[in-house]
Amino acid sequence: MSTQDWTTDRIRERVQALGPWFHNMDLRGVQTAPQHFLGDYPTVKWRRFQDSLPADLSGKTVLDIGCNAGFYAMEMKRRGAARVLGLDYDEDYLAQARFAAEVQGLDIEFRQMSVYDVGQLGERFDVVFFIGVLYHLRHPLLALDLIREHVAGGLLVFQSLQRGSNKVLPLAEDYEFWETAVFDDPGYPKLHFIERSYSHDNTNWWAPNAACSAAMLRAAGFGIESNPEDEVFICRTAPLPDARYGAVYPAKNAAPQRGRAKEGRP
Ligand SMILES: C[S@@+](CC[C@H](N)C(=O)[O-])C[C@H]1O[C@@H](n2cnc3c(N)ncnc32)[C@H](O)[C@@H]1O
């Protein structure tokens, strides 16, 4: 169907059939999730960091991991990106994304894939979105490592739900075994484990504090360029921290460097 064939009534009917929606979008006058518990979401979030990304993405490639109904993929296409690929493991959300893109006449590819399988893409992207997904994963650092190893080719736009303090404690390179107080500092990186459910959602597994989001990004080989709002980090691929590289990719390196146990210390 061409964009013009989508009358308001037809759009409303289809929006209803494809629901419930997590992304509230305005599809030619029809709102997809007007009752969203976070308000006009993700527009309210996007407004807080949209100016941190290049306004013109002509010729650039964009990957949106965990794209849901495609809000960010569509914003990137509107900025002129040559190729935009949205991934999600949930077919219901992908059906919403394909429909929303069609109604708006945006040429975007959407594919069912888990973040753990990004190595299969065999392609790097100028901009990678990894927004609102980390805390849904059982293995969050593995996902960041895989993104860094296989698909990140420039910018990473990262966001996670965060809980705990927003304080970021400057960290020493190392701490003595007997140093324990530092772990209780609210600014020390902490990843809160959710054993059962959080916010009535049992797909929530982890809630990092701000220091932990930043530390995990650095540990996975991303340099943080800016932090335009509390939960959002604009990063660029950076060299992996040396001492950890062997531990992350043992096949490509000599034995990992490990701290040597000292006498009198367990
Ligand atoms: C909270 S929504 C975030 C959607 C969008 N990125 C945003 O920020 O508005 C989380 C999305 O991640 C997807 N997701 C969760 N685990 C995933 C995985 N392992 N691989 C790919 N997508 C995943 C969910 O299906 C859902 O669409």
For residue 88, the CA-to-ligand 1 centroid distance in Å is: 6
For residues 70-96, give the mean pLDDT. Answer: 98
In DSSP notation, 105-124 reads T---EEEE--GGGGGGG---
pLDDT tens track for 185-210:
999 999 999 999 999 999 999 999 99
Q: Tell me how far CA of residue 221 lies from CA of 114, 226, 252, in angstroms.
A: 21, 15, 16
For residue 209, the CA-to-ligand 1 centroid distance in Å is: 19
Per-residue pLDDT at 81: 98
For residues 167-192, give the mean pLDDT. Answer: 96
Ligand 1 pocket, mutate which of 67, 85, 88, 108 (most atoms under 8 A from CB)? 88
Per-residue pLDDT at 263: 38
The answer on pLDDT for 253 being more than 80 is: no
Measuring from atom 2 of ligand 1, which residue has the nearest CA? 132
Cβ 139 vs Cβ 133: under 8 Å:
no
Per-residue pLDDT at 3: 78
Per-residue pLDDT at 251: 55
Is residue 90 lining ligand 1, measured as CB closer than 6 Å?
yes
Is residue 76 lining ligand 1, measured as CB closer than 6 Å?
no
pLDDT tens track for 221-243:
999 999 999 999 999 999 876 65
**If we measure between CA atoms, which residue out of 216, 232, 236 comes closest to residue 224?**
236
Confidence grade of residue 1 (pLDDT, cut at 50, 70, 90): confident
Global pTM value:
0.92
Confidence grade of residue 66 (pLDDT, cut at 50, 70, 90): very high
Measuring from atom 1 of ligand 1, which residue has the nearest CA? 132
Is residue 31 lining ligand 1, measured as CB closer than 6 Å?
no
Measuring from atom 27 of ligand 1, which residue has the nearest CA? 68
For residue 177, the CA-to-ligand 1 centroid distance in Å is: 38
The answer on pLDDT for 173 being more than 80 is: yes
Is residue 115 lining ligand 1, measured as CB closer than 6 Å?
yes
